[in-house]
Structure 1
Amino acid sequence: MASGNQASLQDVQSRHCKFLSYMFYQAVRDHKPVWMLEDMRTMEYFYWEDDASQRTYSPSEALLYAVVHNHLPYAQYLLSHFPEEALKVPGEHFCYCPSSAPHLAMAVTYDRRDILGLIISIAHKLPSLNSYINRTGCFHLEDGKTPLHLACELLRSETVLILLGNGASPRIEDSKGLTPLDVILEQMWDSKVNVASKKLCLDYLLLFMPNPRFKMQKVLREHPEHWTVLLGEDKFNSLVGKVPPSLYLQAMQTILRTLPPSHFPKSIQELPIPQALKPLPGLGKLPSTKEMVNVSP
């Protein structure tokens, strides 16, 4: 009888905890004030009874919800007050690989560019997150894609430029051996939809990719008529290695290699060259860590 009562009590506690967890999720979704969310997140009632080490929401887990629901003030608070904790990989019940960057991937997926800028600013400041922007997703569930792969897959051209300018490598391959350039070229090969966005992503990738090597190069060589019409003769010949890239592209590649990622895009905007030559059409200024708003609970 005692064991039955204990099991019943545990079941009630579990349901109560799930209810409180849903309340917190709803509160983030409804953009409740930061002080209210922090009160809810840190309440002892939000701790599991059976395992005190499994708390319902850590700063990292709370940041995921802030990204998904675009709660910018809460994301600012978590990143400014718990920078390392907020960007840790969430607990095991969130099913993320320990070497992934789920917050960055979520910001790309949901097109949260303001929060993306905050995350990148913090990553530049913390030595422990030196390679954060190039972390790959789970090879079993996410095909080993980097945030740059995702941005190319979703044709988010401004996000592609933000990531590249802040140190994302266009040469990393996913589990299929595809670089972000392959991702764009595959989409160009498969469909004629959103051609302008695909070309813009392609141009941004080439700015940061001298001597490109990519899997789709074989397809380009086997179908020159198709690709010449799509890309133009000069770009096609450059991609298949018949001619060097244009002088403008070579010059920009050289310049971009000398600019520190932590100062992008300000470093581009300050270049003493005509505005028309700067690869930043419509790209706003990314926030720096100093510009992050400290929202007190």
Structure 2
Amino acid sequence: MPWVVPTQRDCVALSASQRQCERTAFSFYCSVREQLPVWMLEDMRSMEVFCWDDCGPRAFLPSEALLYALVHDHQEYARFLLDRYSVSALRTPRCSFCCCCGGTPLLTVAVRYDRVAILGMMVETLRDGGAPEYLDSCGGCAHVANAGKTAVQLALELSQPRCLLLLLLHGARPDGLELALQRLISCDAADHCQARRCLDFLLLFLSEPLAPPRCLQDEAQHWKRLLGNQLFSWLSGLTPPPLLLQALRCVARSGSDRINSLPDFLQLHGWH
């Protein structure tokens, strides 16, 4: 009967099942960390490893296995999961803290760990699977570090230019101009080059600023020195885009290898 209070034996059995799920999940985590062969990991995931949720024990989902592969950069296992399960392997895993479906999107995990190779596999899967809208997803529970941020915004915040370029080349929205500018002025000297690179890549895919960024209205002379007169004037809405920027946009859209192989004097950071 639903109103019958569970016995002490039931509670002990329940906690024992939960502990067994935790043990198998940790064993799976260690196996991915140790880069065990793909066939062995998939056998474990489908037959030996269990999670505990509201309905009791269940097998690990492909998206949860992909999360482990991302954390430990197991590229072969990530490739298998994406080839076998396609876009379903990219569904946001359940949040282990509050057991809701708003966990961390896997694209942002790839950016946070700078897993460029696996991120490339992921964006190709989204393109082939007809789910480009996932590129701009910003889910996540309120207590998750990346909550409310797209993968592009996180790449700008963490100064991850390789991840940012991959996302933009595959159709992610180039949102976050003000974030990129603030990152450029707030980062330390060690990260300045990467932050500038992120701003450069963002500008290649930004057609027109909707409005002049508010931060440029303060300390205009400082921003002119930092960005150069041409870029500052364009971002302030005073002039058209510089010719170099317009030319490099065509190069950037032809592939990341093309823009990365340009000599330094043709990079955007060299125009001022």
TM-score range, shorter chain: 0.7 to 0.9
Match among 118, 121, 140 for residue 118 of structure 1? 121
CA distance in 2, matches of 1:250, 1:181: 17
Residue 164 of structure 2 corresponds to 160
Residue 107 of structure 1 corresponds to 110
Per-residue CA deviations over 1:125-169 (Å, capped at 9, x if unaligned) read 112x12111111337343521101111111111221111111111
Alpha-carbon contact 2:32-2:72 (below 8 Å) kept: yes
CA distance in 1, matches of 2:122, 2:186: 33
Uncovered stretches (5+) of structure 1, i.e. residues with no partner: 172-179, 281-297
Residue 174 of structure 1 corresponds to none
CA distance in 2, matches of 1:165, 1:236: 25
Residue 245 of structure 2 corresponds to 249
CA distance in 1, matches of 2:53, 2:158: 41
RMSD of aligned residue pairs (Cα, Å): 3.1
The structural deviation recorded for 1:189 is 2.8
Match among 191, 196, 200 for residue 199 of structure 1? 196
Match among 215, 220, 225 for residue 219 of structure 1? 215
CA distance in 1, matches of 2:224, 2:218: 12
| Structure with higher RCO (Cα < 8 A, 6+ apart) | 1
Per-residue CA deviations over 1:87-125 (Å, capped at 9, x if unaligned) read 112135366985887111111110111100110111001
Residue 229 of structure 1 corresponds to 225
Secondary structure of the residue aligned to 2:58 is: coil
Alpha-carbon contact 1:238-1:245 (below 8 Å) kept: yes
Alpha-carbon contact 1:75-1:115 (below 8 Å) kept: yes
Match among 67, 86, 100 for residue 89 of structure 2? 86
Residue 16 of structure 2 corresponds to 12
Residue 46 of structure 1 corresponds to 50
Alpha-carbon contact 1:29-1:69 (below 8 Å) kept: yes
Q: Percent identity?
A: 36
Change (3 A) 1:143 1:14: closer
Count of aligned pairs between the two proteins: 258
The structural deviation recorded for 1:197 is 1.8
Uncovered stretches (5+) of structure 2, i.e. residues with no partner: 1-5
Residue 136 of structure 1 corresponds to 138
Q: TM-score, normalized by length of structure 1?
A: 0.76
Secondary structure of the residue aligned to 1:82 is: helix
Secondary structure of the residue aligned to 1:144 is: coil
CA distance in 2, matches of 1:97, 1:249: 44
Tell me whether 1:210 sits opposite 2:207 in the alignment.
yes
